[in-house]
Amino acid sequence: MDFNDTPEEAAFRAEACAFLAQHWEPLAPGERAAGGEPDTGSALEAAQSWQALKYDNGWAVLTWPEEYGGRGARAIESVIWRQEESSFRTPSTMVFGIGLGMLGPTLMAHGSDAQKKAHLERMARGDDIWCQLFSEPSAGSDLAGLRTSAVRDGSDWVINGQKIWTSGAHYSRYGMLVARTDPSVAKHDGLTYFIIDMEAAGIEIRPIKQISGSSNFNEVFFTDVRVPDSSRVGGVGEGWRVSITTLMNERASLGGGSSYGLSVDDLIRLARGLEIGGRPAIEDSAVRQRIAEFHVRLRGVEHTGNRTLTALSRGATPGPESSIGKLVTAPLGQQLASFAIELQSMAGAAIDDLGAQHAYLNAPGIRLAGGTDEIMRNILAERVLGLPPEPRADKGMPFRDIPTGAATG
Ligand SMILES: Cc1cc2nc3c(=O)[nH]c(=O)nc-3n(C[C@H](O)[C@H](O)[C@H](O)COP(=O)(O)OP(=O)(O)OC[C@H]3O[C@@H](n4cnc5c(N)ncnc54)[C@H](O)[C@@H]3O)c2cc1C
């Protein structure tokens, strides 16, 4: 492991810092960077204007090729940029994450020249926000079991069905959708991938109220929605292959091992300000032990992340360690928030100055999104440890013959 920047990386970091300092104040000690999705129109506008400024100055999509507005930078430079950006008071640009991190790379790999020309620059500049229309009520972990159908009608496709958990559908201009175009073949073979204009007739978006009080994701219903064949990405029946590109990029963007919600420093500050038995909580041995445990485990994740960074810095492909970040960090974030609430006793449930309640209620979603804990464990077991794969009873079976839970007779 090498913790130091190379001279080239140090120069890049200095350039990034200089640009950021021209536009934003650095965060004060203990202040957290803006995170999450904008919940007001003005927050969305602030995110879009910051994205446009980054784009115009070459900082928006560093690793994209120059022809699409990027710099062709190395992955390590993108990591350095994120590290520096998160130490300034910039607006959160998380709304662009799905487009820039997952859908843009998919379009570059599988889109037609016309699709790339129409969408990539606007996506990179933040002019259009994109959403991912993959999951359905009975197809999440088993995405290839999806039932939304696309039927050919002249030069159009007609889409019917329902998607769910679609983050940002309510403010997205476009979406990427996978639909079943042939139920007579095996489930992975009958899928096709489309660009969807979210303003098309027949699309209904219903927000889902989350336990945290936010409504970041939605149900999206499609009733006879017409999509031109020119919006198909990849060949008919090649939707699974195209989706894999999206999913690989999703895993890569989620696997960074960043901490979610509170930090150990937040816990230390909290314990300094509270009392147990008339003495500062930070002096209580049980409290100190829990905080120390969190510190050790988070440092473990951080160092595992550093192995990935070292590989990136050397131009190598990160090894299996990059699969572990999300699996370890998401539950850890939940335990950390739970401890912060517990430490405040009844006040922990009543007051939320620290954001612990929000972090706690948000954590289960993080453990599900982009692959649940169990699915991440399956991936590690099969692809990293080489354990036998799960039995797949429907392998090769035509999709329409796969038994469903529907009542018969
Ligand atoms: C915050 C958030 C944002 C999201 N945003 C989007 C989005 O923008 N677009 C989109 O398309 N989707 C989105 N999703 C959906 C997400 O991809 C799915 O929730 C996820 O894939 C799990 O699918 P599911 O919810 O249908 O659960 P299921 O797949 O039904 O799983 C239910 C339970 O069974 C377990 N399980 C399932 N299969 C196995 C197995 N083979 N072995 C062991 N255990 C198993 C799971 O781990 C889980 O505990 C989002 C979800 C969340 C929480």
List, for residues 237-257, the tens digit of each pLDDT value. 999 999 999 988 886 666 544
Q: How far, in Å, CA of 154 to CA of 378, rounded?
A: 42
In angstroms, the Cα distances linking 295 to 244, 301, 302, 305, 308 are 35, 10, 10, 15, 20
Question: 135: CA distance to ligand 1 center in Å?
Answer: 8
Pocket of ligand 1 (CB under 6 A): 131-132, 134-135, 140-141, 165-167, 217, 365, 368-369, 372, 374-375, 378, 390
Q: How many CB atoms lie within 10 A of CB 28?
A: 7
Most confident segment among 87-91, 305-309, 319-323, 389-393 = 87-91
- How far the first Cα of the chain sits from its last, in Å, is 63
pLDDT of residue 75: 85
C-alpha torsion angle, residues 79, 83, 88, 93 (rounded to 10): 40
The residues pairing with 162 across neighbouring beta strands, listed in sequence order, are 221
Q: How far, in Å, CA of 169 to CA of 43, rounded?
A: 16
* Ligand 1 atom closest to residue 163's alpha carbon, by position in its atom list: 11
Question: 368: CA distance to ligand 1 center in Å?
Answer: 5
Closest by CA to 139, choosing from 402, 408, 407, is: 402
CATH number, domain 255-384, options 1.10.287.3510, 3.40.630.10, 3.50.50.60, 1.20.140.10: 1.20.140.10
**Side chain identity, residue 408:** T
Instruction: Provide the pairing of β-strand 174-180 with 130-133.
Output: parallel
* Ligand 1 atom closest to residue 169's alpha carbon, by position in its atom list: 8
Instruction: Provide the pairing of β-strand 217-228 with 203-207.
Output: antiparallel
Q: How far, in Å, CA of 117 to CA of 129, rounded?
A: 16
- Domain 130-243 -> CATH class: mainly beta
Task: Give nearest CA residue, ligand 1 atom 27.
Answer: 140
The percent of residues in the chain predicted with pLDDT above 70, rounded, is 93
Q: Which residue has the higher pLDDT, 312 or 117?
A: 117
Q: Band of the pLDDT at 13, cuts 50, 70, 90? A: very high
* Ligand 1 atom closest to residue 135's alpha carbon, by position in its atom list: 11
User: Which DSSP helix (H) or strand (E) runs through 124?
Assistant: helix 113-125
pLDDT of residue 353: 80
CB 325 within 8 A of CB 257: yes
- pLDDT at residue 144 greater than cutoff 80: yes
The stretches of 283-345 forming alpha helices (DSSP H) are 285-313, 324-343
Domain with CATH 2.40.110.10 in the chain: 130-243
Q: How far, in Å, CA of 329 to CA of 257, rounded?
A: 6
The residues pairing with 193 across neighbouring beta strands, listed in sequence order, are 178, 233
Question: 257: CA distance to ligand 1 center in Å?
Answer: 19
Q: How many CB atoms lie within 10 A of CB 331?
A: 17
Q: How many CB atoms lie within 10 A of CB 240?
A: 20
In angstroms, the Cα distances linking 323 to 105, 263, 326, 354 are 20, 22, 7, 30
Average pLDDT over residues 259-274: 87
Domain with CATH 1.10.540 in the chain: 7-92
* Ligand 1 atom closest to residue 139's alpha carbon, by position in its atom list: 26
Average pLDDT over residues 323-347: 89
Question: 324: CA distance to ligand 1 center in Å?
Answer: 18
Q: Look up the pTM and report it.
A: 0.92
pLDDT of residue 310: 77
Q: Which fold has domain 7-92?
A: Butyryl-Coa Dehydrogenase, subunit A; domain 1 (1.10.540)
**Side chain identity, residue 290:** R
Tell me the catalytic residues.
250
Ligand 1 pocket test: pick from 100, 368, 378 the residue with the most ligand atoms within 8 Å of its Cβ: 368
Question: 344: CA distance to ligand 1 center in Å?
Answer: 32
Question: 45: CA distance to ligand 1 center in Å?
Answer: 30
User: Which DSSP helix (H) or strand (E) runs through 220?
Assistant: strand 217-228
Q: Which residues contact 41 (CB under 8 A, 6 or more apart)?
A: none
* Ligand 1 atom closest to residue 167's alpha carbon, by position in its atom list: 8
Task: Give nearest CA residue, ligand 1 atom 13.
Answer: 165
136: three-class secondary structure by DSSP:
strand
- pLDDT tens column, 146-191: 999 999 999 999 999 999 999 999 999 999 999 999 999 999 999 9
Task: Give nearest CA residue, ligand 1 atom 18.
Answer: 140
Q: 273 exposed, middle or buried (CB, 10 Å; 0-12, 13-18, 19+)?
A: exposed
Residue with tokens 């198909």: 232
Which long-range contacts (C-beta less than 8 Å, at least 24 apart) are formed by 276-281? 281/343
Domain with CATH 1.20.140.10 in the chain: 255-384
Length of the chain: 409
CB 242 within 8 A of CB 234: yes
Instruction: Provide the pairing of β-strand 191-197 with 275-276.
Output: unpaired
